[in-house]
Amino acid sequence: MIIVTRPGVTEDEIDQIRERVEAMGLRTHISRGVARVIIGCIGDEERLRHLPLLRFPGVEAVHPVLKPYKLASREFAAASTTVPLGPVQVGGAEFVVVAGPCSVETEETTLATARFVASRGARGFRGGAFKPRTSPYSFRGLGQEGLAILAQARRESGLPVVTEVMDPRQVELVAEYADALQIGSRNMQNFPLLSEVGRTRRPVLLKRGMWATVTDLLLAAEYVMAQGNLQVILCERGIRTFETATRNTFDLAAIPVLKRETHLPVLADPSHGGGRRDLVPPLSFAAAAAGADGLLVEVHPRPEEAWSDGEQSLDFGEFGALMDGLAPFVAAAGRRLAQGPPQAAPPADGGSRVSAE
Amino acid sequence: MIIVTRPGVTEDEIDQIRERVEAMGLRTHISRGVARVIIGCIGDEERLRHLPLLRFPGVEAVHPVLKPYKLASREFAAASTTVPLGPVQVGGAEFVVVAGPCSVETEETTLATARFVASRGARGFRGGAFKPRTSPYSFRGLGQEGLAILAQARRESGLPVVTEVMDPRQVELVAEYADALQIGSRNMQNFPLLSEVGRTRRPVLLKRGMWATVTDLLLAAEYVMAQGNLQVILCERGIRTFETATRNTFDLAAIPVLKRETHLPVLADPSHGGGRRDLVPPLSFAAAAAGADGLLVEVHPRPEEAWSDGEQSLDFGEFGALMDGLAPFVAAAGRRLAQGPPQAAPPADGGSRVSAE
Amino acid sequence: MIIVTRPGVTEDEIDQIRERVEAMGLRTHISRGVARVIIGCIGDEERLRHLPLLRFPGVEAVHPVLKPYKLASREFAAASTTVPLGPVQVGGAEFVVVAGPCSVETEETTLATARFVASRGARGFRGGAFKPRTSPYSFRGLGQEGLAILAQARRESGLPVVTEVMDPRQVELVAEYADALQIGSRNMQNFPLLSEVGRTRRPVLLKRGMWATVTDLLLAAEYVMAQGNLQVILCERGIRTFETATRNTFDLAAIPVLKRETHLPVLADPSHGGGRRDLVPPLSFAAAAAGADGLLVEVHPRPEEAWSDGEQSLDFGEFGALMDGLAPFVAAAGRRLAQGPPQAAPPADGGSRVSAE
Amino acid sequence: MIIVTRPGVTEDEIDQIRERVEAMGLRTHISRGVARVIIGCIGDEERLRHLPLLRFPGVEAVHPVLKPYKLASREFAAASTTVPLGPVQVGGAEFVVVAGPCSVETEETTLATARFVASRGARGFRGGAFKPRTSPYSFRGLGQEGLAILAQARRESGLPVVTEVMDPRQVELVAEYADALQIGSRNMQNFPLLSEVGRTRRPVLLKRGMWATVTDLLLAAEYVMAQGNLQVILCERGIRTFETATRNTFDLAAIPVLKRETHLPVLADPSHGGGRRDLVPPLSFAAAAAGADGLLVEVHPRPEEAWSDGEQSLDFGEFGALMDGLAPFVAAAGRRLAQGPPQAAPPADGGSRVSAE
């Protein structure tokens, strides 16, 4: 921590600051400039973070030196981490496409979608059983019935399943069915929920809040990791800005910034990023080019009949075209894109997941 | 709902749109312009909201006609609603100041603060027992021990208590102690939590999310109200923008916009709005001038020792000066500001609240 | 300037930084922490500003110590400056309301408006002869004919005139007619224009850009002042954010932040801030409460027929009600609000202004 | 234009709206819903744009039907336009990289940079002789001396030159030297300047304002085009948001949105978009993947000694690596990227440009 004083600071004020910092177990180092004094604080900066130093007489500015996140940082783990999504590793050489409907609607549409996206190279299946909706009058998901359909989709398609959990009381239930627990954008700072998924041993797919800086996102990951669950996959999905031509502003630069700051894998969600199906291909290609580890894409057999997000969902033909178009960009980025269905079903991993009910 | 077609739309495309809308039980009305056709949909617009009309061939734009919120709207209740906070009515002639520390830290500082703010005209006491913190390494509140201290503060000061609840599993517990349940900014779209507080009969203080439009805030209130709890108090506390001179950008205009759109009371939080103690008085005066129904202010006996938010908390002298300075602005706004301590303790309301343990 | 190194910085890298800083004529002071080294740079920080220090090997962060503006800062002039607007002083005890139409349309409506607003306590008259319009197909002002009408309005109403200048080639012309030169929001960083008005001796009313931080606004003022014209009046008028309920987001907190950072007077524009006439009164009252030195308000005899900004313009009755409503808030803020017409016409100030043609 | 009334609108109010709209030469078409009436206005919507319809009694909402820009729209020209930059066509099969220093500093560094970037496949040279700087105390460019150096760089490298013009009084001068006139971000709504470059016959490179929506950008292009100069190249360079990890938020999705809305070519500026050299390659690759027609990149022989923007400039080695890395992404996007120096010097186009002084 670096503390900068106001011009005209008194020696008493400097002493008061030093004493307070030293009482927290740090050493101080004084550097006197023309008008201001700079107080360097040497030691465990974490102890100073909550101190309202700007309230101290004579203090003008305070600059932290360390990042506020630890486990998520490249300083903690210099090499990139891969996180398992069923049999697939996210964050490695393979560019992993996770596709599926916004919500699980019926068994028929869900299974058809899973089979189709698997046949075209998707390596994960997404679908919401519990849906956060801005209006209380919108469809909010099938709940446990939806989870059972997802488990069936996994069996039939061979794809591991990612689904959202919104309520700490449902983490255990969702973890029984899902290969990865999705934390949605609106819950990125739902701290009890983050702690609860941190206590499971399921991988967590953490979507960036539409108000969140990159630092906020990494601190949210830190909440999960601090509970002992280091398997976190991040996902850029757009932030809220003044631009109204798109549903959100897809913050492409966050992808390379995250790849530099953290060892965790980073996906991109081109469906929410743009909010329109015609933007899904260019945003997907760009995300691959910028170094993303994969995509989260909404696909529906008949988007014009979808119960949610139909405007940004691809139909089967559009998804096939996306995968075809994506291949050369993934190759240019030095990654592999799967072709055709997965070779084997995801492993049954014992009692913790409902792989056949 | 008004649907605008693209130039060159075909009659078949128009028919397809009409049929779909009419299948949902609405009537359609066609108006042909020079290049485009406008399809007015007459009936229950709610049924059309989830339809991805922009996916239909020939559709260029869709304009909803009705507000997406109902119970929260002025159309539902033209007259302003008052919501009880213990013995006080929020939203009526009285301008209600709710003050107290960011977090409940110790019995001594909490009780001292409650007594002081009561003596200077506060009519509610705030303090966090469960604290949402951006970093998992920050102090996160005393939990139930903090709730007990708040109950004691109520008994000693005569002030009703507002405190935050973050976890749906703790709603029942917090509701036993609190006169109003606060939903913090980060949880404004935590829908399970909103539903859960909607099932209590405690008033809810709902803070605007830093990413939320006024419409989003009213839809969050609708979540609570849709469960049967109509006692919602809204609170403007600043949104996230590019400006870094303040912690958030206090959206003052949201106060009159909300007062026009909704019958619910509206408070302002000048502490988070500016993030600096020197901004608390001007933001408070401005909020009163713009028609707010009261304030939520952070006060601490020794802000430089506070465990959280010390930089934006007022000390006792500053809070006294705030109340003195506020009085003429409240009077100019045609409202009353309390002087001195409350006349009587808040009523014990039976078994549902822990008024003496 | 404070330079923070990366962990693992080498002594050679530190030497390279020191040598570069010392070559610019500053001294350096080294403070060694646990993993990082902090290099304090003592002397004229301005010389270092353009240095791309983050390009230097081993540098992680750079923190400037000094504000980038000088003449506009409170360190340059601790006491508040008053700026003359004709016979009125802006920034002193009087709360100065400048009112008038968005654009000068006809002689009849302009003169009627000037007389009316003068009779109700306005102390300045505003109106655009050169209008910046987002679309090239919108009305762009009467030009010099509009300036002549403004001069006539000044003679008839006794109010000094504020009008916008958009083009450096027209500064001289506009300065002949106007008592103050307005720089509109879109031109806040039009540097040739800022320099040009800085070379006149006319007061400048500088509106905040909708993308500009408070620091950017003060640097824009610095451009004018650096040319020798210290008579700058600042104006908060809203910034661009995600909120669509209002035309802009009125950044109320910028008013007290500016009053602390700079000695220059600060007006508020409640017409553009909210973009709707019903928001003009609450925003005006709030601005007075927050410490603004006055207002810039759009008034039109028949707003529904205005050629621009009719939706946010007040009619005469609304303006009268605004002034009546404003009085107690101005009094609560310890300022004076004029009543009735000005006592005397503005002084003819020699050859530089066209006071009678 | 579609006008929606409030519930309870009277027949008189409806008549008043109809009469006003019909007086402007449009026809109206009434559609009566359950509570509201919808008035469709058929005819030349442009005539209604300035009408403050929300001021009319009974009006609740107004929805324009037509885009506010015409010449820039795909409805005006369905096929993509190519704009010449010297001998190169921007917007065609070739992906055009324009590279060079932020500012022209010395003849030596400028010529060396031009020769180098030409040798590595750049097809245009950029460099500022007139620089917009946030602070009046920063280096503001060499002016006409810089233009002469640019002309020399064109002769020696064979690359056409793009340089910024900030002042309408300098348009003629800059147009003598430059192959394309750059309008910088801060001047995107400097309407006199837009009109002035619209009166030249030089291509215009128009950078998006950091506060500007896509619609605002297209209206700015419309200003230029409305003067008769249809040769406009657009450039995405990032917008201002709350995120501080990057200098601006690069709005990648704006590239495909623009390509759909307009026939004009679209470049991307990865240097300003991210503000850091390490972000230039991923943003460049992503822009190519998303369908951009080329790049505008800052390159300097010794960025750590650059007089401006050193932190985001590439050195020669980094630029070479960028071009190598870019090639497969450009190929994947179905475009061509030049290799090696241009085949021939740009054509001397008569008296209008200073090609040899």
CA D258 to CA B272: how far, in whole Å? Answer: 38
Shortest distance, CA C250 to any CA of chain B (angstroms): 7
C-alpha distances in angstroms, B250 versus B234, B286, C353? 14, 11, 41
CA C65 to CA A38: how far, in whole Å? Answer: 9
Please report whether residue C357 resides in a domain. Answer: no
Look up tokens 């921590």; give the residue.
A1
Task: Please give the span between the terminal C-alpha atoms of chain D, in angstroms, as a whole number.
Answer: 55
**Does D142 lie in the same domain as D31?**
no
Q: Are A299 and A113 in contact (CB under 8 A)?
A: yes
pLDDT at residue D33, as a whole number: 83
pLDDT at residue B345, as a whole number: 52
Token pair for residue D130? 């007139």
**Does B142 lie in the same domain as B41?**
no
**Does D120 lie in the same domain as D23?**
no
Conformational region of residue B271, where left means phi above 0, alpha means psi within -120 to 50, and beta covers everything else = alpha
Per the CB < 8 Å rule, is B63 touching D244? no
**Does A302 lie in the same domain as A193?**
yes
CA A88 to CA A176: how far, in whole Å? Answer: 19
**Does C313 lie in the same domain as C171?**
yes
β-partners of residue B5 are B59
**Touching B: D residues 213-252, CB under 8 Å:** 240-242, 244
pLDDT at residue D343, as a whole number: 83
pTM score of the predicted model:
0.95
Closest residue of chain A to D290, computed from CA coordinates: A282
Shortest distance, CA D32 to any CA of chain B (angstroms): 8
Please report whether residue B72 resides in a domain. Answer: no
User: B190 to chain A: which residues are within 8 Å by CB?
Assistant: 166, 186-187, 190
Per the CB < 8 Å rule, is B253 touching C274? yes
pLDDT at residue C344, as a whole number: 65
User: C282 to chain B: which residues are within 8 Å by CB?
Assistant: 252-253, 255-256, 289-291
Closest residue of chain B to D38, computed from CA coordinates: B40
User: B240 to chain D: which residues are within 8 Å by CB?
Assistant: 242
pLDDT at residue D345, as a whole number: 52
Residues B30-86: tens digit of each pLDDT = 988 888 899 999 988 888 888 889 889 999 999 998 899 999 999 899 899 999 999
- Percent of chain C past pLDDT 70, that is, above it, reads 96
Shortest distance, CA B190 to any CA of chain C (angstroms): 20
Shortest distance, CA C350 to any CA of chain A (angstroms): 44
Q: Does A106 touch chain C (CB under 8 A)?
A: no
**Does A120 lie in the same domain as A236?**
yes
Per the CB < 8 Å rule, is B134 touching A49? no
Closest residue of chain C to D188, computed from CA coordinates: C186
Does the structure show a pLDDT above 90 at B351? no
Residues B297-348: tens digit of each pLDDT = 999 999 988 888 889 999 999 999 999 999 999 999 999 999 999 986 554 4
What's the alpha-carbon Rg for chain B, to the nearest Å?
A: 23
C-alpha distances in angstroms, B293 versus B116, B206, C11, D17? 22, 14, 61, 37
Per the CB < 8 Å rule, is A61 touching C61? no
Report the mean per-residue pLDDT for chain B. 93
Number of structural domains (chain D) is 2
Query: Chains with ≥3 Cβ pairs under 8 A against C?
Result: A, B, D
Please report whether residue D69 resides in a domain. Answer: no
Please report whether residue C188 resides in a domain. Answer: yes
User: A43 to chain C: which residues are within 8 Å by CB?
Assistant: 34
Please report whether residue D71 resides in a domain. Answer: no
Shortest distance, CA D104 to any CA of chain A (angstroms): 28
Mean pLDDT by 10 residues, chain A (357 residues): 92 94 92 88 87 90 91 92 97 98 96 98 97 87 95 97 97 97 97 97 97 97 96 98 96 98 98 95 98 98 90 96 98 96 62 40
CA A355 to CA A353: how far, in whole Å? Answer: 6
β-partners of residue A315 are none
Taking one residue from B and the other from D, the number of pairs with CB-CB distance under 8 angstroms is: 56
**Does B330 lie in the same domain as B272?**
yes
Structural domain containing residue B130:
83-352
Helix (H, G, I), strand (E, B) or coil at A161: strand
| CATH number of the domain where residue A207 is located | 3.20.20.70
**Residue to test with chain D: of A252, A261, A330, most D Cβ within 10 A:** A252
Lowest mean pLDDT among A62-66, B102-106, B152-156: A62-66
**Does C150 lie in the same domain as C102?**
yes
Does the structure show a pLDDT above 60 at C356? no
Please report whether residue B157 resides in a domain. Answer: yes
Report the mean per-residue pLDDT for chain C. 93
**Does C125 lie in the same domain as C56?**
no
Closest residue of chain C to D245, computed from CA coordinates: C61
pLDDT at residue B44, as a whole number: 87
Q: Please list the pLDDT of chain D residue by residue as tens digits (357 residues).
A: 899 999 889 999 999 999 999 999 999 999 888 889 999 999 888 888 888 898 899 999 999 988 999 999 998 998 999 999 999 999 999 999 999 999 999 999 999 999 999 999 999 999 999 999 888 888 889 999 999 999 999 999 999 999 999 999 999 999 999 999 999 999 999 999 999 999 999 999 999 999 999 999 999 999 999 999 999 999 999 999 999 999 999 999 999 999 999 999 999 999 999 999 999 999 999 999 999 999 999 999 999 888 888 899 999 999 999 999 999 999 999 999 999 999 865 544 443 444 433
CA D277 to CA D18: how far, in whole Å? Answer: 58
Per the CB < 8 Å rule, is C138 touching D50? yes
Query: Chains with ≥3 Cβ pairs under 8 A against A?
Result: B, C, D
Conformational region of residue D309, where left means phi above 0, alpha means psi within -120 to 50, and beta covers everything else = left
| CATH number of the domain where residue A27 is located | 3.30.70.1140
pLDDT at residue B349, as a whole number: 47
User: A246 to chain D: which residues are within 8 Å by CB?
Assistant: 253-254, 257
Token pair for residue A303? 């988007």
Per the CB < 8 Å rule, is A169 touching B189? no
Please report whether residue C270 resides in a domain. Answer: yes
**Does B191 lie in the same domain as B155?**
yes
Residues B172-222: tens digit of each pLDDT = 999 999 999 999 999 999 999 999 999 999 999 999 999 999 999 999 999
CA A249 to CA C18: how far, in whole Å? Answer: 41
Per the CB < 8 Å rule, is C279 touching B291? no
**Does D339 lie in the same domain as D290?**
yes
Per the CB < 8 Å rule, is B52 touching A192? no
**Does C229 lie in the same domain as C135?**
yes
Please report whether residue C75 resides in a domain. Answer: no
ipTM computed for the complex:
0.94
A31: nearest CB among C4, C31, C242: C31
CA D287 to CA D283: how far, in whole Å? Answer: 6
pLDDT at residue A181, as a whole number: 98
